[in-house]
Amino acid sequence: MRGSYPKEEPGIRYSRIKRMMNEQELDAIVLYSPQWKPEVVHHASNLRLLGEDACVVLTLSGEPCLLTSQEWDIHRIREECWIEEIIVCQGDIMQKAAQIAARQGKSVGIVGAEHMTAVKYMAFEKELAGKSIKNVYAEFDEMCKVKTRWEVEIMRRCAKLADLAYMVEMDSLRPGVCEYEIIAEMERAMKEGGADENFQLIGMGRNLPSMSRAKENYLKMGDLVLTEITPVIGSITYATQLCRTVKMGEATPLEREKHGLLVTALEYALGKMKAGIRAKDVAIWQNEIIGAAGYEEYCHPPHMRSRGHNFGLGYIDLAEDNEEILKTDTVLVIHPNQMIPEIGYLACGLTVRITDDGIERLSVLSPDMYEASSASVMG
């Protein structure tokens, strides 16, 4: 996917942005990203940002241009970016972006102002003195909730990488292995498969309170292993997640029962999901199952955080107070991750695409708890 894309993809994205610009009565829009928050520029240009920052300027009547101060990176930028006009700025890129936008009319939109330094924004504002500046991050974010066909395909690739990493995790489990070692093997597999990065949570032990980043913790027989596997291609907007629980050895009847409760809640919600439902419905359906089993108190923070969400641009939180309507080609992770007081925290979940009449599962793996037998883990 790096440096390649369907020839129609830039036009699809820019037509969406220009439609939003018309609705907001904008003559030009400036789309800004720093290196630590690259989603906006990546969406608008296909560029994986390595330098300090970059921005895209788009007008209603013209072609986009990309501004960067990273002359050392220009060869890679030209190979990867789908924008033909690339300007290397010796000074502040936001000052130059404002000068370009100011020539197009009276109203300029900005996406990413929240991530600028005060100096950059003041330079941008000064060049647009007398013009209307409108922050349209919320409108841009709303537009990004519905994925294009190519975006969905990228996320299908992410989900395959998550499945692969989980299988690698199974092969890595043995008494005495450290969380760092397991994560290293999973990272290797995903990056070899094309992931740019991975946000990984793990927990190993008994009566776990939650998952966290890897630490120096060594696996023992009888432990539970919890993982959240989140590979990224390009930017965090194109991430999927797989949540799983593994038992080192034979699970107890209580462990099977309680994890089975989470699987039932997951499948119940997935079976009712389709375009047109409210985000809150997905949370309510999962909580109905878990709450009816006697855990209604535990269906709310701090015992859990959310029943699902997505990543990056177009963020949606599946919470009981979220009234927004889910649309076709929205991509979300659904996870009834849950504290069960008798045995501790459990993980269960996968990423799906919303369709007109249901969902597409992006993972092909069973959500059931995997039991690593003593024979298999001892080699």
Place 198 in a pLDDT band, splitting at 50, 70 and 90: very high
CATH number of 149-377: 3.90.230.10
- Mean pLDDT of the region 276-294: 97
User: What is the greatest pairwise CA distance in the chain?
Assistant: 74
Superfamily of domain 9-143: Creatinase/prolidase N-terminal domain (3.40.350.10)
- Mean pLDDT of the region 221-228: 97
Is the fold of 9-143 the same as that of 149-377? Answer: no
- Mean pLDDT (the chain) is 94
Name the one residue in this structure whose structure tokens are 């009847």.
Answer: 253
Question: Which pLDDT tens digit goes with each residue over 335-369?
Answer: 999 999 999 999 999 999 999 999 999 999 999 99
Contact 147, 329 (CB under 8 A): yes
Cis peptide before 6 (omega within 30 of 0): no
Strand partners, 34: 53
Question: Which pLDDT tens digit goes with each residue over 30-83?
Answer: 999 999 999 999 999 999 999 899 999 999 988 999 999 999 999 999 999 999
pLDDT beyond 80 at 308? yes
Give the integer Cα–Cα distance in Å for 273 and 27. 39
Q: What CA dihedral angle connects 204, 206, 209 and 212, to 10 degrees? A: -10
Question: Which pLDDT tens digit goes with each residue over 247-280?
Answer: 999 999 999 999 999 999 999 999 999 999 999 9
In the chain, which residue ranges form alpha helices assigned H by DSSP? 9-23, 39-45, 74-80, 93-102, 118-127, 137-143, 149-172, 179-192, 253-272, 279-290, 374-377
- As a whole-number percent, the residues of the chain with pLDDT over 70 amount to 97
Q: What is the pLDDT of residue 249?
A: 95
Structural domain boundaries in the chain: 9-143, 149-377
